[in-house]
Structures are given as C-alpha cells and as structure tokens.
Structure 1
Amino acid sequence: MSNTGQKRGPPGSESTSEELVRICWGLCDPSQLQILVNQSSNSVSKCDQGDRSLLPCGTPILELLLYLCKFARKQGTYFDYRHILCRLGDLITIAEAKCYAFPFKDVPFCWTELLRTASFIKAAVFAMESTWGKTNEMLQHGEQFPALGKGTIDGMVETIDKALIMAGHSLDDDVQLDIDRIFRLLQLAHLAYSPGDSLSPAKRQKHDDHLFPSNFSLPNIRKTISVRYTPTNEAFKEHMHHPKSDEIGPEPLLIKDLLVHWPALTKWQSMSYLKSKTIGGRRLVPVEIGKSYVDAGWGQRIIPFQKFLEDYITDPTPLPGSAVGYLAQYDLFQQIPELSNDIITPDLCFVPCPPPHHSSLFRNKHLEVPQLEMPMRNAWFGPAGTVSPLHTDPYHNILAQVVGRKYIRLYAPREHDKLYPKGTEDGGVDMSNTSNVDIGLMAKLDDRPAAREHALQDFPLFDKADYIEVILEPGDCLYIPLGWWHYVRSLSVSFSVSFWFNDTGAEDNDAEEENHEMGEVNEESAF
C-alpha cells in the first residue's frame, strides 16, 4: 500500500517476508481466545497465581483481545492498522502496570501472559503493514511479498523482546517456536540490508575497528587460590566432598583450560560479531545502571544491544562520574539462542554436590532450595569498574571468564560475623546475603583513604576476616562453593558466564554410581 511508508527492500528477500507473514498470520488466530471469552462469560474468575491462562484478566480484556485478533485478519484501511496497534499498546500498558505492581515472583500468570500475547500480536500486525488489506489473499495465491522495511524490523524486535524480558518466554512450546523462527527470519531480513554482518569471524575481525579496549591495571594478589588444570569429574567430586579442613568445607578452585573448545573465547572479542547475532544490535537487553546494586541511584533500563555497546562498552576512557552500565545476571542465552552455540555447559556442573556447610549463616535456607533440573546460566557483560558487592548465593557456581579480566575476593561461610551482613530493607527486601562492607574501599581498589579509615571504625572485625583472592583471565573458570561470600570487580571490559548448580542431574548420577557399584560387586563375585 502506498500509504504504509515502507520502501521495497533488496532483491532476494521476498521469500523470507512471506514465511514471516505466514507465521504472524497464525499468531493472530482468534480460535483459542474465542474459547476463553465463552468460558469467561459463563463464570466469574479471579486472578490466581496458580491459574495458567488469560481467563482471570476478565471478560472486557479478553473480548478486546479477541476483537483485535479478528480485526487483524479482516484488515481494512491503514487507519484500521494504526487503530489496532494503538489498542494493543493499551493492553500492553495495562499488563506492564500489573507486572510492576507485584514483586516479580508474585505476578499473577494472567498478566504476564497478557503482556506476551498482546505483544506477539502487535509484532505480527507490524509484519503485515506492507500487505495490509490483502494479506490473506496474497498468502492464499502465493503472490510475491515485499521485503520488510527497516522500521518494521525495528518495531517487531522491540515489541517482542520487551515482552520476553519482562514476562519471560511463552509456556506454549508452539508459540515459542514461532517466536524463535520470527527472530531467525528477522535476522535474514536484516542481512539483506547489511551483508557485512554475514562475514565469517576471521574476515569480520579484519574489518573490525572496534575490538574491546584492553588497557587495565592489575591489583597485587597476596592470598592465592588453589589451581587445577581440567580436573576430571571424579577429581572435582573429591575436591568438593573431601575438603582439606572440615571447619571451612569445600574451597574455591581456579580451573584452567576448561574452555579451550569454546568458540566464544575468540568470537566474543569482536563487537561486530555480537552485533551480527543480535539483528544488527537491535535486540533489547536489561542493563543495570550504576556501579553496583547497593549504590544510591542504581536502576535498570531495557535498551537495544547496540546502544549498550555504544554508551557503556566502546569508550575506553569514560568521563569521571559517568554512569556504568552492566548486563548482569541475565539468561541472554535463552533470549538469543545463537549465542548459546558459542559456549558449552561444563560437565563439572553435573557432579553431585555436598550440602551447605555447617558454619553457613544460610544453611537451613539453602537446604530448602529446590534442585535444579539443569544448570542455571547467566551472562555478565560490562565495562571496567562494574562491581558485584560482597554477597553469597544459594547455589554452587562455576564462573567462566570469556573476555577481559576480573578481580574476585572470597570469604568462607564461617567468616560471616566479620562481614556485617545487611538485614531487611525498606519495602521488605531481604538483603541478608549481601555485606555492608565495601570491599573496593577496604582492599584499596578505590583510592579513598579517609573513607576507608571511617569504614574500619564502623566494621572493626572486618580486618580479622580471612580471605583468598584471584584474577580471572580469559579462559579461566572459578568454582565458588555454595555459601562462600564473594566480591567481583571487572578490571577491563569483561564478558563472563556463570553456571549455578546444586546436584543437577543427581538422580542420574546416583543411578550411574549404583550401576558402577553393582558392576564392582559382580566383578568380585566372578573371582
């Protein structure tokens, strides 16, 4: 249509557009919503966290969503197209407000499902802009589809990604497969405009003028950590279950050469490679703004990956006092599966784990943590100076360093009384797993001698706490046992991946051990 504002894209991209529109047409199928509307009109529903449907959103919202789905397929004038987008935006705003009204874990399912559903339909309508009024006819007759405009790609990526970040992935496997296919097709549509993004990593690095800056200074390491080179599962199990000291329990371990087969070690050094896996940097990511989550003024923003790189990564000499941006503790690999192809979950994460140490302040709480089905992966990507304050986690952790360097200081669980844990803060947030002590200040990583002297008076026992420390280099892994306090500070632009685990696959491991023991018994009886 002449009034869409779309320009015809490069040759050869029409088949991508047709496949994309066909998927989006399916996302606007009103049949399931019609069933929910019929159910809603015959019952009074109330939002319940255990209800896994849109039904508790209420009849008016369901009827509006159904009407918009039908209208998206009926189509009409370009005014109708804008009207549908506007009303879907209203539903998204309602869902977002409901999500913000609860702690994340307590948001009723119906509102996260509304956010996903309305967002996916809105993205689908975006995809049909250039065929509006004749989409169904074109699909039925196999007509040639115009290529997606850059504005359409922008709108679809932003709409879907924001929903995925705020509400999580769809629990409907078919819907999530459609969303994954949409992103793959949007990547192809982007490549039609930006063929340079399809270069091989080797060729791309020759043209890459923006490799990560690497200027940094290293602190002196006084209390070193044990080192192992690619330990076997059995050796790692021995390390965890038979510690040198029962008073301390299993200790941290620096693991070398575990990542030699990771493509990420080379590929993630190039910003152009990372952009090529994020639809030219369009994919949205959640970014923490501020030095650490305990600092005043700390906050979070959802921004395009390209903007994150430009604002927080590429400048090696940021202005004093400028904000720090950190893509922290986020499962980037579920959102962007292409990046998960560059990493391999270490086998060590499937070794049976010891229970929380008896000296841990959180022993009872950690005993109640459910067993993970698979290791929990998170990305940590930011400039020099990002900080994770001294804290402890409810899982065993293998932290893999991919790009850059990090300084890490660790304290055994028994040292907790010298680390001055926080309590419950305003709003009822339990911060007891985080220390009141600023390690950057106390370790003289921050040059503020007067503030340090004041802190020593406030925390007189801190200097008596025993610790170990390490600088993680690219390719290193650090095992952090459950309950160990740790402070993490990036010394350069840094990209890390953490793997949390707690007897992941323990049942399988137990079965293997039982079979192994039975085999030994059989061998003995044979003699």
Structure 2
Amino acid sequence: MADLWSKISAVLPLSEEQFPLQFSDKVESSVVEMLQRCRQQLYSPSTRSSRILNAQIVIDFSWEKLNMGTWRDVDKEWRCVYSYGCLFKASALCREDPSEGEILEAVKTCDMGLLMGAAIMDDLLQVMVGILQREVRKPAEEEDRGQPQAKRVKMELPRVPVIKEEQAVPRIRCPSLESFNTNHLLPLRPVILEGIIDHWPALNQRPWSLEYLRSVAGCRTVPVEVGSRYTDEEWSQTLLTVNEFIDRFIVHKDGEEALGYLAQHQLFDQIPELKEDIRLPDYCCLGEGEEDDITVNAWFGPGGTVSPLHQDPQQNFLAQVVGSKYIRLYSPEDSDKLYPHQSQLLHNTSQVEVEHPDSDRFPSFSSAPYLDCVLQPGEVLFIPVKHWHYVRSLELSFSVSFWWS
C-alpha cells in the first residue's frame, strides 16, 4: 500500500492553481474559504488530523443543506460542495501509509460522494474509488487463496404458482425491430423476449454470482431496502456495503427474519465493472428519447422479496440474470378493479395483496383479467407503460430493468 498515494496524486490536478473551486454566491463565503483551505492542505505540508477535520466540516455543513427539503429542490452547487468534501477526506485518509480500515473508510467516503453529491472534475471520485478498490482487492485475493470454499447459501424450494396456458405471457425469440414495434410496442402488449441477452458477459464470460459480486463490489457502500415490500410499515432504507448486505440478508444468520433488497438506480454508474457486464436492449432504439435518457436499475435480493402491484410511467424491459421471479400483469384499462391507494405518494400502487386478496375489501379484484409468468435467467419481459405489475422473487435473484420512453 506504500505507493497508494502516488497513484491518487497522479489523478489529481498537478498544482493548487490548477484545482478548480468555483461557486456562486449561493454557497456561503465561509464554506468556500474552508474548501480553499482543504485544497491548500492537499498541496502543502499539514497534519493528517487537520486535513480530515477540515474536510469533515465541509461534509457535515453540506450534508445539512442536502437534507433541508425535498431532494429535487437541493441546489446542484451544494451537491458539488459535498463531493469536494468527500474528495478531500478520502485523500487525507490515504495520504500517509493508511491502514486497510482507513482505505475502506476512504472507499465509503467516495461512495457517499457518488450517491449524494454531483460529479466533479471529470468524475474524479469515480476514478479515485477505482484505485482504492483495486488496493483493497489485493490482500483479499491473497487471503482467499488456499481457504476452504465459502459457506453456501441455504436454498429453499420456491413456491411457484401454476401458470395457466390461457393466462401465460406470450413468448417470442429474437423478433425483428419491425415485428416487435408492430406487434407489441405500438399496441402495448406484454411479451417475453428470448435470446436477446444471450451475449451479455453477465450470463457468459463473467457470470454473476455472490462470489463475483463480492469481488467487484464487496467493499462498496450502496442503498438497501429493508423489508419484504415497500408498502409494509416496517419497511426502511439504510446504507450497507455489498458484503454486509450479502452476509446479512442472503447468507442468512440464525434468527435473521428480515428481508433486504438492493434496488438501485445508480448502481451501474457507481460500479462500472457491473455496467460492463450488461448491454442496452436493441429495441430501446424504438423509443423517442436519447440513449442517455434510459434509466438502468438493479434489483438484487433473496427469495420472497415482493414488489407490490404497481405501475410505472415508462416502458420497461425487465431482464433476468440470476434466479427466477413470478410476475403478474394487469392492463391499465382495469385500474378501477385494482384499488390504487388514494394518497398522492402511493397512487401508482394497489392496496391489494395480489396472491392473498381480501375479497371483502376488494370485491372487484378477482374479476380483473391478468397475464402471468415465471421469468428465468436470460429472459426479458416487456412491461408496457402504465401496465400494472406484481413481482415476487422465487429465489436469490438479480434483475436489470431498463426504463425508456
């Protein structure tokens, strides 16, 4: 780890004069002065504790700004200030012969900047965390050599519903763009597409598994949903490393009852190694937006995790990579039979527990027609815009969804 600082300093600007710090009067002058002091300490002799303290002051002050109102109202400049604070703290932690624990803290600091801040200096935090992650992997890989095989995940037989032929989502193998557009996109008909992601590295050269996820992202901090479904009262969100998430919610400890789900809109930007393992479906080109407008989401969790019956405002390709899922689809034409919540927050979510409906409270639900399926690895489900969908993981599952217009 002796040459870690030389690797980090090599990606920083060469001098204090070349390090950009430009903010409008929205950012208090005292905060700008503290940022300038952190920048000066980056290029001049100073104590380690002083560097960390000043960076933490920037982080704490900007954190308050990020949490004062709704996220959409947070000014981007304050997100940049937060990212700069994370950059300065991570640099300070790694400056002088850091311990493994300090490097892991620096990784977490960079991740917090990537999650809550804004991109600065050509996404320098992403570059830094890549350097740090490679440093963390070295001793971990050496330690793994010669060690006994890791404890296997306890697998339970999934409760798989019977799919009736007349209600099964239709399947088609590698349709042409014209055929998909005419028969499914324009009339908004759900379909399972087979064979269209067989070329993904995630299914071939670098097959996704718990061991693979640990190797490329184990030390990375990510948002985790705790609870079987987001409509439950006990549902909450927290931040864990991928390793902590796997140990707590996948490799179940004795007495561990809660379910955790890694549902992340930023995961593939935060961890480029995973993004390199997937590809945009060609059919997204039929949309009206640009490629940059497509939202790619990660859904990773144990069997039994449920997404309640809900609808989304965009077209959706749900690609299954690991494990299987039971999915049920309802047309938006039958929304009145699905009893959406009356609150603005959950207006796109049904009150009905799909597989165990309360017929007294929701008498019309049983008359709503639906399609369903079990989505297997390598298959992609097209969920048309506004179509209601219910999802239950039948086993350890990793899916990728693409939202597009």
TM-score (norm 1): 0.71
Alpha-carbon distance in 2 for matches of 1:469, 1:420: 19
Deviation at 1:196, TM superposition (A): 4.7
Q: Select the residue among 295, 299, 302 that pairs with 2:239.
A: 302
Q: Secondary structure at 2:197's aligned position in 1?
A: coil
Pair 1:252-2:190 in alignment: yes
How many equivalent residue pairs? 402
The aligned counterpart of 2:77 is 110
Q: Secondary structure at 1:187's aligned position in 2?
A: helix
Pair 1:492-2:395 in alignment: yes
Deviation at 1:191, TM superposition (A): 3.4
Q: Secondary structure at 1:301's aligned position in 2?
A: strand
Deviation at 1:64, TM superposition (A): 1.5
Kept in 2, the 8 Å contact 1:88–1:119? The answer is yes
Kept in 1, the 8 Å contact 2:169–2:190? The answer is yes
CA gap 1:111/1:332 in 2 versus in 1, 3 angstroms:
same
Q: What are the residue-to-residue correspondences of 1:84-103 with 2, within 5 Å?
A: 84-103=51-70
Amino acid in the other structure paired with 1:478: L
Alpha-carbon distance in 2 for matches of 1:327, 1:288: 6
- Mark the structure with the bigger radius of gyration: 1
Q: Cα deviations across residues 246-269 of structure 1 (Å, max 9, x unaligned)?
A: xxxx21101112221112125444
The aligned counterpart of 1:70 is 40
Amino acid in the other structure paired with 2:20: Q
CA gap 1:55/1:119 in 2 versus in 1, 3 angstroms:
farther
Pair 1:473-2:367 in alignment: no
The aligned counterpart of 1:23 is 11
Alpha-carbon distance in 1 for matches of 2:19, 2:135: 30
Alpha-carbon distance in 2 for matches of 1:403, 1:22: 38
Unmatched segments (≥5 aa) in structure 2: none
Alpha-carbon distance in 2 for matches of 1:486, 1:129: 52
The aligned counterpart of 1:519 is none
Q: What are the residue-to-residue correspondences of 1:178-189 with 2, within 5 Å?
A: 178-189=124-135
The aligned counterpart of 2:216 is 277
Alpha-carbon distance in 2 for matches of 1:435, 1:105: 26
Kept in 2, the 8 Å contact 1:158–1:284? The answer is yes
Higher helix share: 1
CA gap 1:179/1:490 in 2 versus in 1, 3 angstroms:
same
207-216 vs 466-475, greater mean Cα deviation: 207-216
Q: Secondary structure at 1:65's aligned position in 2?
A: helix
The aligned counterpart of 2:263 is 328
The aligned counterpart of 1:381 is 300
Amino acid in the other structure paired with 1:166: M
CA gap 1:153/1:214 in 2 versus in 1, 3 angstroms:
farther
Deviation at 1:21, TM superposition (A): 2.9
Q: Cα deviations across residues 316-371 of structure 1 (Å, max 9, x unaligned)?
A: x8747x22111114231110001111111110111247xxxxxxxxxxxxxxxx77
Q: What are the residue-to-residue correspondences of 1:92-491 with 2, within 5 Å?
A: 92-130=59-97, 149-167=99-117, 169-170=118-119, 172=120, 174-176=121-123, 178-196=124-142, 209-210=151-152, 213=155, 215-222=157-164, 223-240=167-184, 243=187, 250-265=188-203, 267-278=206-217, 281-315=218-252, 319=255, 322-352=257-287, 373-424=292-343, 429-442=344-357, 455-491=358-394
Q: Select the residue among 25, 32, 40 that pairs with 2:20.
A: 32
Kept in 2, the 8 Å contact 1:268–1:274? The answer is no
Q: Secondary structure at 1:421's aligned position in 2?
A: coil
TM-score (norm 2): 0.91
Q: Secondary structure at 1:94's aligned position in 2?
A: helix
CA gap 1:412/1:184 in 2 versus in 1, 3 angstroms:
same
